[in-house]
Structure 1
Amino acid sequence: METKFIVFQLGNEEYGIAVEQVKSIEKMQHITRVPRTEKYVRGVINLRGVVIPILDLRKQFGLQEQTHTDHTRIIIVIINDIEVGLIVDAANDVLDIYDDHIEPAPEVIEGIEADYISGVVKVEERLIVLVNLGKVLGLDDQE
């Protein structure tokens, strides 16, 4: 079976999220801070009348902070009927990935918790880390 993945970048690494979990990809915009939240929660945005919490995946994954560029995007995902925005360095492309090409996740990838990763896939010379959104968002993934 084949699944489509949105490929995005954090630093030099590429990550993938199943297209079926992605609602939209937005340009970076003003984020309203919310006090007393986890450090990886950047705040909320008002997107077409809907207030959406925004997470910084760099902080969530324990990666070094980086200034936002023209390529920085917010990927709006829906999991368990919850909409959340994820700040990423860039959203690159959409790939069709066959399930039998997905390999188990290694224990550690650049300090990221193994639970956050559902697998890795090699596409030509690229290594793409597939993200388990349920774990990243602190929800049980009900795929």
Structure 2
Amino acid sequence: MSSSKTQVNGPRQFLAFRLGGLDYALDFDKVQELRPLQALERFSSEGEIISGVVVSRGVIMPIVDMRIAFGPRPPQHDPLTDVIILKLSSCVMGMVVDGVTDIVSLTLEQIEPIAGAGAVDYLVGLGEVDGRRLIVVDIDKLMSIRKIQFGARQAA
């Protein structure tokens, strides 16, 4: 068995985090660093989901509050609120979550497709680690900006 085949089929590391009472996981290779929300210097704030622009180690980046994007509750910062600094294919940005829990290892065989989620391209599937179910997301696709074509939205 070649080493590249082992790497594809072997376990990969994922960062597990909580958001709106659910457990999620993203590819650990996309994580640049973890920071407490209070440790970031905010110098601009706008909108609801884009909660502003921050500086982390001299890098200016947008910060997205996923707590608002994934639920209607207002953001309440507590000591467990974390920011995951992501190194995406298109940029570096921060993502505010309820809290980072741990780093887990999953093989591709351990990630099951989510029934009925075929149209949602950022959902990779469901993984299970130690009896805990994780929603595995493709963070590049989740954070990409999509243009909505005119007329694509229809009135209900």
TM-score scaled to structure 1, two decimals? 0.83
- Which residue, 126, 132, 140 being the options, matches 1:134? 140
SS in 2 for 1:134: helix
Runs (4+) of structure 1 moved beyond 4 Å? Answer: none
In structure 2, give the amino acid aligned to 1:3: R
SS in 2 for 1:114: coil
* Cα distance in 1 for residues equivalent to 2:121 and 2:42: 28
- Which residue, 48, 52, 61 being the options, matches 2:70? 61
Change (3 A) 1:138 1:81: closer
Gaps of 5+ in 2: 1-8, 147-156
Aligned to 1:33: 44
Q: How does 1:1-143 map to 2 (within 5 A)?
A: 1=9, 2-29=11-38, 30-35=41-46, 39-107=48-116, 114-138=120-144
Change (3 A) 1:65 1:106: farther
SS in 1 for 2:42: coil
Q: Which has the larger radius of gyration?
A: 2
1:34 Cα deviation from its structure 2 partner: 4.1
Gaps of 5+ in 1: none
SS in 1 for 2:141: helix
Higher helix share: 2
Q: Would the aligned equivalents of 2:85 and 2:94 in 1 still touch at CA under 8 Å?
A: yes
Identical aligned residues as a percent: 27
* Cα distance in 2 for residues equivalent to 1:84 and 1:101: 29
In structure 1, give the amino acid aligned to 2:128: K
1:25 Cα deviation from its structure 2 partner: 0.3
In structure 2, give the amino acid aligned to 1:7: A
Q: Would the aligned equivalents of 2:20 and 2:71 in 1 still touch at CA under 8 Å?
A: no
SS in 2 for 1:44: strand
State which drifts further: 57-66 or 6-15.
Answer: 57-66
TM-score scaled to structure 2, two decimals? 0.76
Count of equivalent residues: 134
* Cα distance in 1 for residues equivalent to 2:115 and 2:75: 25
